[in-house]
Amino acid sequence: MTSNHFYDETEHSPVRKHDRFTGYWSQFKTNFDWPIFFFMATLIIFGLVMVFSSTMFLPINGGAADPFSALWRQIAAVMAGLLLGVIAFVTPSRYYRNPVILLLAMTVIILLLLYTRFFGQEAFGAKSWIFLFGFSFQPSELTKVFAMLSIAWLSEYTSREVRLTQEAFRKFPIPNLLVVSLIITLALIFLQPDLGMLLIIALSLGFFWLIQKEKQGRNLIAYVACIVLFGVFYAFSSYFSTYLIQSGTHFLERLGIFVNPFADPSGVGYQLVNGYTAMSKGSWLGQGLGQGTMKYGQIPAINNDFILVNIIEELGFIGGIILLMIFLMFFMRLFRKAALMVDPYRSKVITGLALVLVIQTATNIGGVLGIIPLTGVTLPFISSGGSSIIISMVGVFLILKMIYIDNKEQAIQEK
């Protein structure tokens, strides 16, 4: 008897299932932005190597050396980021532009920040951590994603509706509530005080607003004003550095020390001065992977916000430049895809999330080099830190989602 197994043309036949899977996979391969994914994967893998290198000699668990402890925690965070990123990717895109869902998400973040305000764990001068089921988490990290989704929706809504009628905001209260939720969130982050996170989100929102403005002349004035303000800020910190360093307040000490860390090399400036020493030891080619010596307790948080110091000491300035070039190509790809989006909302989401990554990277590098005050901000995808890498990965998967949907719709239109 001849089997009809391979000739069954019903909807549930193995042949039909295989054809559907092949079609889905072919569509996914065509529309998925592989370069962005590979840039992220390259940075994550390199980060895992450097996290291990910078923590392999740290005494952990009551003095017992466990060289893999920090690495396993970072791998667990990457796996969590991958899982949540995939969930974010497969979630229908209509949920990301639903203002009610965005408002609900911002409300949850506000509640988490309020909980952190009263019951959170304080570290490095900021009460910004909570502990759940044995794991630490930084709720303010969620703001980086949902603030950008919210501002992208607000920008799209106002450009589409408010230009038609000035009564739009009064008729539809959710935009006003979203704006209020953003202000409350920033205020709660300021009260922690997590000024590094506040700087990232505030600058991301500010630059997003400037990019969306159509009057380029005003934008130029705003950029020049930012430069002038930074000059004034630098002059203020330099002139009052002695008083700021002796203030005894964590934030003010950092304001005073970044202009002249050698004013207190064994106190407030200890981390910066030793960071300079480590980078000078690295020279152009470095001392070799794993061969750095300043990680032996001489630089606090060398696996977190100061991991760039360990990279330059072990791989040299050449290694540091190569890393920065990878970041630069990654960011250029993100902004290029944002410019090519057909759907304005998707373009704005990609722009906002890309700005968060760019500003976070610049803030970390600027702090390590002494260009701006230290803020404790991590280097995206590289530094040790579960909350940071998870949210950064989710943000990139959201970008990939926006690109995938846009590419898919463009392919349908071309047919």
Number of neighbouring beta carbons within 10 Å of residue 193: 16
* Long-range contacts of 55-63, Cβ-Cβ distance < 8 Å, separation of 24 or more: 55/295, 55/303, 55/384, 56/290, 57/295, 57/296, 58/295, 58/297, 58/303
- pLDDT number for residue 173: 78
Residue 31 has pLDDT above 90, yes or no: no
CA distance 80 to 97: 24
Which range (139-153, 178-192, 246-260, 309-323) has the least confidence? 246-260
Q: Higher model confidence: residue 405 or residue 158?
A: 405
Residue, of 62 and 56, whose pLDDT is higher: 56
DSSP string covering 201-247: HHHHHHHHHHHH-S-HHHHHHHHHHHHHHHHHHHHHHHHTHHHHHTT
Q: What is the pLDDT of residues 386-398, one digit of tens each?
A: 889 999 999 999 9
Q: Say what the pLDDT of residue 64 is.
A: 42
Which stretch of 3-7, 157-161, 325-329 has the lowest confidence by average pLDDT?
3-7
**71-105 tens-digit pLDDT:** 888 999 999 999 999 999 999 988 998 989 999 99
pLDDT the model gives residue 376? 82
123 pLDDT above the threshold of 80: no
pLDDT-based confidence at residue 119 (cuts at 50, 70, 90): confident
pLDDT of residue 12: 54
The residue with greater pLDDT, 296 or 185, is 185
Report pLDDT digits (tens) over 272-305.
888 888 888 888 888 888 888 888 877 887 888 8
For residue 16, what pLDDT is reported? 60
Task: Judge contact between 71 and 48, C-beta under 8 A.
Answer: yes
Q: Return the pLDDT at 265.
A: 75
Predicted model pTM: 0.87
CA angle 340, 343, 348 (to 5 degrees): 75
Q: Is 10 a residue whose pLDDT tops 60?
A: no
Q: Tell me the mean pLDDT in the region 163-172.
A: 53
User: Is there a contact between 353 and 145 (Cβ–Cβ < 8 Å)?
Assistant: yes
135 vs 383 pLDDT, higher one:
383
| Percent with pLDDT over 70 in the chain | 83
Examine the pLDDT at 24 and tell me if it is beyond 80: no
Mean pLDDT value across residues 190-203: 88
Mean pLDDT, residues 197-201: 91
The DSSP bridge partners found for residue 132 are 135
Cα distance between residue 189 and residue 202, in whole Å: 11
Tell me what pLDDT residue 40 has: 96
The amino acid present at 245, given as its one-letter code, is I
Q: What is the mean pLDDT of residues 40-52?
A: 94
> Quick one: tokens of 297?
């307790």
**Token digits for 179?**
């704006």
Average pLDDT over residues 40-45: 96
End-to-end CA distance of the chain: 44
What is the pLDDT, as a whole number, of residue 226? 74
Average per-residue pLDDT in the chain?
82
**pLDDT band (50, 70, 90) for residue 128:** confident
Which tops the pLDDT comparison, 253 or 202? Answer: 202
Over residues 129-143, the mean pLDDT reads: 81
Rounded distance between C-alpha atoms, residue 153 and residue 167, angstroms: 18
Tens of pLDDT, residues 345-361: 999 999 999 999 999 99
What share of the chain has pLDDT > 90, as a percent? 38
pLDDT at 168 over 60: no
Burial class (CB in 10 A: 0-12, 13-18, 19+), 56: middle
* pLDDT number for residue 92: 92
* Separation between Cα atoms, residue 351 and residue 355, nearest integer Å: 6
pLDDT of residue 7: 45
Lowest mean pLDDT among 86-90, 222-226, 259-263, 281-285: 222-226
Checking if the pLDDT of 365 tops 90, the result is yes
